[in-house]
Structure 1
Amino acid sequence: MAATGFLLPALSEQRIFKRHRAPVSWCGHRNLRRSFEPPVAATAFLLPSFSDPRIFKPHRPPVSWCGCLNLRRSFGPPAAALPASSGQSLLFAKADLLDLISDQERGVLTEGNPARRSEIVRAVEALSVYGKDMTTSGPSLSGTWRMLWTTEKEQLFIIKNAYLFGTKTGDVLQVIDMEKGLLNNVITFPPSGVFFVRSTCQAASAQRVNFRFTSAVLRGDGWQIPLPPFGQGWFESVYLDEDIRVAKDIRGDYLVVDRAPYTWTE
């Protein structure tokens, strides 16, 4: 059974959450793409992410990415043209993806830009080449992951339209504990609101994780509304390192997340 999303009635869009900039660690990577061709496509996968009600400002790229966004100005061929064993090639592929999504408002702007979406998917596929032999469904998957970009329409709808309910969308997170077999999908609404969906999860292969929703809660300041569980599915993390993770889910949606600088708990 396919996983179901946060389905809401159609509402007219009037304003969009402030531009979400890439984490500080991408510092040198942002302009790499200006001098190079997009990497050659290879097969890849992606998925969605979520975050804590205490942190609402759009975050900048992690400090660890700091010299990457400008690398493409200094070097020749794009990542996919270099041998898969080349560390420099991996750095290019990662920088290319982060640069492409850095101005896309977590995917809101990509919805109306098929050309940019295709570019991002090609960059995802190029990066997935370096993750094909990784085991990404083990302990390294555990943690609080913060969404940088997605194609998941229900999440993007909430990001765009939270203001209609007198709030705005903060961090969107995926909180995973593989040892306990738990997964929480979290959307925060400043100053104290949060919507989260509890799930059980289990590794199905080296990169695939199966999950089943068990309950959901919409919580505000001093109140909460329990909601029924609504589905099951799987996702594959096709690339994972100390900074980011890239995934594709059962519905074919893509997700790029980074490791949040905090741990979200209920």
Structure 2
Amino acid sequence: MAMSSPFSSRPSAIPSSLRILKSNPALGCCAAARPPSSGASLGAKADLLALIADQERGLRTQSDPRKRAEIIAAVEALGAMGRGQVTTGSSLSGTWRMLWTTEKEQLFIIKNAPLFGTRTGDVLQVIDVEKRSLNNVITFPPSGVFFVRSSIEAAPPQRVNFSRFTSAVLRGSNWEIPLPPFGQGWFESIYLDDDIRVAKDIRGDYLIVDRASYSWKE
């Protein structure tokens, strides 16, 4: 999960542009990333973004099984159009902002942050393919953050393994609490373009993210 930056407690805005990914080399693989065909994928992408636009990053979806099934079907439809696309290359690197997820732990924090006198801002994945690192980040404006550092290993065409979580930190404006590392797993980016990425993980959870307008740094 991994800020002076434009954090907001409001649901993440859906990107307005619909562009097609340019080819990028894959890590550890000679094949280039193939962009999905424009017509069908743009329609499927627009449908998916429309479905999640009012779902408060997944909070509302939790109590609506029919909506959840509809969104997951749209996710799988878009993923089918990205089948065969290499999504483990340099195009995976960047600061990704969560738009929607089924991950209960993240949704619990988003929902309950006000009970602890704060609010949840952007929820991020910060990936550096070249350095083989990933930070999962939850921000608590104006200065709070919880992040988990991970080392990763690409397994083209679409899987990234968490070889280990190296550390976790809960940080405020003038304090920091280190937490023990834990767990391992993997995720697959089943669709990737210039704007958004759709991922599925080892537990069967789904994640939809867009490219943040800023780069998060520790």
- Superposition TM-score, scaled by structure 2 size: 0.88
User: C-alpha distance in 2, partners of 1:132/1:87?
Assistant: 14
Which residue identity is paired with 2:152? C
Runs of 4 or more, structure 1, over 4 Å off, are none
User: C-alpha distance in 2, partners of 1:183/1:147?
Assistant: 15
User: C-alpha distance in 2, partners of 1:63/1:236?
Assistant: 24
Indicate if the aligned counterparts of 2:14 and 2:99 stay in contact, CA closer than 8 A: no
Indicate if the aligned counterparts of 1:148 and 1:257 stay in contact, CA closer than 8 A: yes
User: C-alpha distance in 2, partners of 1:168/1:53?
Assistant: 16
Larger-gyration structure (1/2): 1
1:248 counterpart SS class:
strand
Per-residue Cα deviation, 1:151-201 (whole angstroms, up to 9, x for no partner): 000000000000111000000000000100000000000110000000000
Indicate if the aligned counterparts of 1:247 and 1:256 stay in contact, CA closer than 8 A: yes
Identity %: 70
1:170 counterpart SS class:
coil
Which residue identity is paired with 1:61? I
User: C-alpha distance in 1, partners of 2:37/2:193?
Assistant: 16
Give unpaired runs (5+ residues) of structure 2. 20-35
Name the residue aligned to 2:17: 64
Which residue identity is paired with 1:223? W
Name the residue aligned to 1:109: 60
Give unpaired runs (5+ residues) of structure 1. 1-48, 67-84
Name the residue aligned to 1:222: 174
User: C-alpha distance in 1, partners of 2:123/2:178?
Assistant: 19
Give how far 1:64 is off.
Answer: 1.5
- Figure out how many residues of one structure are paired with residues of the other and give that number: 199
Give how far 1:56 is off.
Answer: 2.1
Which residue identity is paired with 1:96? D
Give how far 1:100 is off.
Answer: 0.4
2:63 counterpart SS class:
coil
Structure 1 vs Structure 2 CA RMSD: 1.5
User: C-alpha distance in 1, partners of 2:38/2:170?
Assistant: 44
Which residue identity is paired with 1:110? T
Indicate if the aligned counterparts of 2:47 and 2:74 stay in contact, CA closer than 8 A: yes
Which residue identity is paired with 2:201? D
Name the residue aligned to 1:91: 42
Give how far 1:88 is off.
Answer: 2.0
Per-residue Cα deviation, 1:46-83 (whole angstroms, up to 9, x for no partner): xxx65x473222342224249xxxxxxxxxxxxxxxxx
Which residue identity is paired with 2:91? S
Q: Does 1:129 align with 2:72?
A: no
User: C-alpha distance in 2, partners of 1:215/1:227?
Assistant: 7
